[in-house]
Structure 1
Amino acid sequence: MKLSVEIITGTFIDTVVSENATVKQLKEKISTEVKLPVRRLILVFGNEEERRMLMDDEDEIMLRDLGMREDSHMYLFIKNLDLVSMEERSLEGDDVSMEEISSEAESRRRENEEDEKVKIDGEDEDKQMKNEEEEEKEKDREDTKDDDNAEEEAREVEELGDEKEET
């Protein structure tokens, strides 16, 4: 049967699987087409009133038992690598709940955003300091010009005074 899979990016994949295909077989087929490991794929199917995410423990269910028919439409989401590695650790025996995994992934995301903000703020401070230094240099140049002009005027006044004395 032909199925239409819409990737979150808006790209469509039309794939053909047998009438007796399982969720796992569909994921494996999609995995080769999108060049991502099966463990990173999240499939969502159903109509507008009732959408459903296919869980990993449903991999052995046949697609037809889920109500998928010829030209059924589903959505493909991709798990973040951090989330996948934390899930794998929890399966290896670490007693970590999905809430903790999600919380840890969210914390890392926030830390990355804060690091980026600090980096941007630091760059802004550098720009501001450079601007202030340029303004200071410009002011010094103007002061130097004013001093030079004042000296020039003083010399001219002195020369005029000397000329009057001579006459």
Structure 2
Amino acid sequence: MKVSVEIITGTFIDTEVNENATVRELKEKIATEVQLSVSRLILVVGHEEERRMVTEDEDEKKLKDLGVREDSHMYLFFKHPDLVYKEEKPQGKEDDASMKEIAESKRGNGEEDEEAKEKTHGEKEDTAMKNGEEDREKEKKNVEETKDNEDGKEKASEGEKGENEMDMVS
């Protein structure tokens, strides 16, 4: 059956789907067309006052069970990539397409990915701690060497004093 999907941008996608196609199958076709991950797509079906958003738990429902028929007109909206990422993260899912979209979205906004920022910050702290420890070790060594050198000079100086005193006695 042929269906028409109007994207929020005002463009249309006319596509052919099987009579028994599921919402997920339609979303997958659309996702390929608009080059976004399926998890970002929000589909709105129905006529006039009966329009409603198809929820994610309805993705396995057949389109015909939702009232979609030949030449049906639907609307498509998109979730912001950050929203998708926040929804998926607790479940342990990481969609590569979503991650790429988030990165591109943030780059477009001049933002940095918070996780990357935190990771970099953590690495900098680790490096700083290691460097700080190394610096403290070097400083400790230098203090010990300086002390040893001073002790050596004092002993040498005492030795010279002793020789000078003996010269004076003779």
Gaps of 5+ in 2: 94-108, 110-170
Q: Distance in 2 between matches of 1:65 and 1:23?
A: 10
Q: Sequence identity of aligned pairs in percent? A: 70
Aligned to 2:86: 86
The 4+ residue runs of structure 1 with deviation greater than 6 A are none
Aligned to 1:77: 77
Contact 2:19 2:64 in 1 (8 A): yes
1:20 corresponds to which letter in structure 2?
Answer: N
Q: Kindly provide the CA deviation profile for residues 24-61 of structure 1, in whole angstroms up to 9, marking residues without a partner as x.
A: 00000111111111001000011111111111111111
Q: Distance in 1 between matches of 2:91 and 2:42?
A: 18
* Superposition TM-score, scaled by structure 1 size: 0.54
2:7 corresponds to 1:7? yes
Q: Distance in 2 between matches of 1:2 and 1:90?
A: 37
Q: Distance in 1 between matches of 2:60 and 2:82?
A: 26
For residue 91 of structure 1, report the CA deviation from its aligned partner. Answer: 2.3
Cα RMSD of the aligned pairs, angstroms, is 1.5
* Superposition TM-score, scaled by structure 2 size: 0.53
Report how many aligned residue pairs link the two structures.
94
Alignment of 1:16-165 (within 5 A): 16-92=16-92
Q: Kindly provide the CA deviation profile for residues 71-94 of structure 1, in whole angstroms up to 9, marking residues without a partner as x.
A: 00000001101101100123239x
Gaps of 5+ in 1: 94-111, 113-167
SS at match of 2:14: strand
SS at match of 1:49: helix
1:30 corresponds to which letter in structure 2?
Answer: I
